Chains A and B, each alone.
Chain A
Amino acid sequence: MSTAAREFLRNAAQKAADRANQRNIRRAIEHYNESAREGRARFLDWEAARQQCHEIKWEALNHLDEYLVEFEERVKERGGHVFWAETGEDARRYVADLAKSRGVRTIVKSKSMVTEEIHLTPALEKIGIQVLETDLGEFIVQLRNEPPSHIVMPAMHLSRGQISKLFQEKLGAEATEDPAKLVAVARQTLRRAFFSAEMGITGANFLIADSGMIAITTNEGNDRLGTAIPRIHVAITGIEKVLPRLEDLALFWPVLAAAGTGQRITVYNTLIGGPRAADEIDGPEEFHVILLDNGRTELLADAEQRDVLHCIRCGACLNACPVFRTIGGHAYGTTYSGPVGSVLTPHTRGLAEFQHLSFASSLCGACTSVCPVKIDLHHHLLQNRRNAVRASDRPWLERAAFSIWRWTMMGQRRFAAAGQLGRTLLRGLYAMGVEATPLDPLRPWTRRRAASAIPRKSFRAMWGQGGGKE
């Protein structure tokens, strides 16, 4: 078992037993479910929207090279810079060098999972630059020195009491249970930063090839301040975020809002194509877009799972997942959690180390059914399992057990005999008081659950007698 797998099992067990954590997660997701139901109902045909999104993303990803080059040309025409980063290290170095050469001391940052993925903030802090998260949820988790626990709701694992205490300790704020007052504290603190920072860093929700514009979506407007006031704007994004045409946003903006939060449309949908133009009043002098690969081209080469790159990071699959709802985002130990994270991470960080995530699923398919771009998530989890077995990455004992199981299953008599033997043995052991002790062969199940009574006859025998009676 890999180190990551051992940690995952330990953290998952701990989080699943943490009542306060459970309460916070349940509150957020119940609220989301209600809004998302309303959000989807506002479409005349939600399924048609999903299908169209799937087809547009399919088109974009399957001609990715052409669209990226088109995007780059348009950005350059307006005087922007495009940097292609093969790795997180390339991207970090580019931003660090840029910041140093421009005398940047403070950076205001909008929410971006890609910057989490490449650990940008610690790298910039190491060279003495102050980086402030400006999305409220991200601001909160930054003060706590922890990563976001959800793609869209970074602080969903915290209660207002915990946040108030945090603000008292770190910002010297007064104690309050009023969310509006807590928001005001963050607004006050960050407002000064917006007007003094030299650089704004954002992600991008979409890259529009035909217009050379990045699209950023927020409800708070922090991205808008960060791209209006500081003199340099750097957008860091994955190469997969491309949409062919500006017109596609007429579909993707409402779909992202419906799936992400249940809104009809998010408050601020900003399109940025370059630095401040000659005749404009304000805006940054420099505009840089960093296109990050970091393993994405490898996933692209896997035709079977290429559609994972369709992901628009709405978080719907996380909210639908019974595993995520039980353990929360932090237990995964990865930047992207939930079903999409379990599919994605083995591709970017190695199947040997992160295959366990694909096994931490009941394969119920809830993720696939809610995905607004129709990623075949639960089948990809299954394919990751298959690939792990093929790569002989599973323990020999498990492989041997499955060989025997398979052989047993293939013969009617063998199967019946094995069932008989199992029931007899188990009854004998339980009669000796082994049940729920470490010696119980069903230990993984009975550790946290009561064992069910062991029937005397097999299901087949009961069925033959024409009823469920023994």
Chain B
Amino acid sequence: MDHTENSGRERILARIHSGLRMPAPKHSAAPTAQMVFAAIPDPLARFQDECAYNATECVLMRDSRASSRALADALAPVPEGEIYIQDAPALRRLTEGSGIDRAVRWSTEGPPTEASQATVTLAECLVAATGSILISSAAAGRGASIVAPVHIVVAEIAQLVPDLASAVARARKSGGVTGSSCLCLITGSSRTADIEKILVLGAHGPRRVVVILARQLD
């Protein structure tokens, strides 16, 4: 970039440095229990509850074959048009097994287009406490979880973590933080309440988010 001569940098840093000479008061409080969030005894039940609350459809499946059927079911009401699928071996198998007969664009063919009617991706992990899905750009890309009216996520129960802290820890350990230019924590479907605080689903992103949660995928 031709702008990189940046004389403001040193001046701003110098002002911060001199500004910090005087320490700021800290508002101390009586020691608290320090437990900010309640413990989560049953992550799977919690995840399902949270999904129900935030308008994510969560279907629990036994294995790959059942998940294939779930994928076909989830796609059944989707109108004519292209389906965009992350090109991963597990999703290739699931798609073949589902017997769906419609135009598929695989992620190896390029980014999703405006015409995508639904997208199918894997996830880094699922968060029980909030009913969230963590997606990385390294695996699923950036657009695949946002451009279409329907986003279907396929995950295994082993990917379920209890809370946000464990999701961050897991993403760090798996290299998801350094290995992706973008991570997104998705909780429910796109929404807005900017008009009279009335909730409307499907603002710019998917109106339907579906999680196919398999006990095990082979």
Contact = CB atoms under 8 A, between A and B. Distances in A.
Interface of A: 24, 27-28, 31-32, 43-45, 47-49, 51-52, 54-55, 58, 61-65, 68-69, 78, 81, 83-86, 90, 94, 97-98, 101, 134-137, 140, 153-156, 158-160, 163, 179-180, 182-183, 187, 190-191, 194-195, 211, 213, 219-222, 224-225, 227-229, 239, 246-247, 249-251, 253-254, 261, 264-277, 279-283, 286-288, 291, 293, 297-298, 300-301, 303-304, 306-307, 374, 376
A90 B11 CA distance: 13
**Nearest 7 pairs between A and B by C-beta?**
A221-B205, A301-B19, A282-B111, A281-B141, A220-B203, A137-B194, A228-B142
Nearest to A180: B200
A224 B196 contact: no
A250 B168 contact: yes
Contacts of A221: 146, 190, 203-206
18 contacts: A28-B196, A61-B24, A68-B16, A69-B13, A97-B3, A153-B194, A180-B200, A195-B114, A211-B177, A222-B204, A224-B205, A265-B130, A273-B180, A276-B142, A277-B138, A281-B111, A281-B144, A303-B24
Interface in B124-151: 130, 132, 137-138, 141-147
Which of B38, B177, B195 lies at the interface centre, i.e. has the most chain A CB atoms within 10 A of its CB? B195
Interface string B1-32: 11110101101110111111011111101001
B182 A44 contact: no
Contact of A301 (B18, B164, B177, B198): B18
Given A52-B36, A220-B205, A301-B19, A271 B184 contact: yes
Interface string B36-51: 1110000000000010
Given A155-B194, A239-B16, A268-B190, 12 more contacts: A32-B197, A43-B37, A48-B34, A86-B8, A135-B194, A179-B195, A264-B54, A268-B205, A277-B137, A280-B137, A300-B20, A306-B24
The number of chain B residues touching the other chain, given as a range, is: 35 or more
A183 B168 contact: no
A267 B32 contact: no
Contacts, number: 293
Per DSSP, chain B at the interface is: loop
A438 B184 CA distance: 61
A257 B114 CA distance: 30
Contacts of B82: none
Given A155-B194, A220-B203, A283 B182 contact: yes
B62 interface: no
A45 B33 contact: yes
A306 B19 CA distance: 10
B119 to A, nearest CB: 11
Contacts of B26: 54-55, 58
B55 to A, nearest CB: 10
A112 B62 CA distance: 44
Nearest to A51: B29
A94 B196 contact: no
Contact of B189 (A90, A267, A303): A267
B216 interface: no
Nearest to A90: B8
A355 to B, nearest CB: 22
A224 B146 contact: yes
A274 B2 CA distance: 18
A306 B26 CA distance: 10
Contacts of B138: 277, 279-280
Given A86-B8, A301-B18, A179 B200 contact: yes
Contacts of B12: 84, 86, 239, 291, 293, 297
Given A64-B16, A283-B142, A160 B196 contact: yes
Nearest to A217: B185
Which of B8, B38, B163 lies at the interface centre, i.e. has the most chain A CB atoms within 10 A of its CB? B8
Contacts of A246: 168, 172, 177
Contact of B8 (A27, A55, A293): A293
B187 A267 contact: yes
Contact of B17 (A65, A101, A219): A65
Given A45-B36, A220-B191, A267 B18 contact: no
A135 B194 CA distance: 9
Given A32-B197, A84-B12, A229 B36 contact: no
Contacts of A239: 12, 16
Nearest to A31: B197
A43 B181 contact: no
A187 B35 CA distance: 41
Contacts of B89: none
B15 A222 contact: no
A206 to B, nearest CB: 13
A247 B107 contact: no
Given A47-B29, A221-B203, A159 B196 contact: yes
B183 interface: yes
B27 to A, nearest CB: 5
Contacts of A291: 12
Given A28-B196, A45-B36, A303 B204 contact: no
A85 B8 CA distance: 6
A374 B22 contact: no
A282 B141 contact: yes
Contacts of B16: 64-65, 68, 239, 297, 300
A51 B33 CA distance: 11
Contacts of B145: 224
B110 interface: yes
A64 B20 contact: yes
Given A32-B197, A297-B16, A280 B141 contact: yes
Nearest to B28: A51
B148 to A, nearest CB: 11
A187 B184 contact: no
A97 B189 CA distance: 37
Nearest to A87: B8
B23 A62 contact: yes
A229 B143 contact: yes
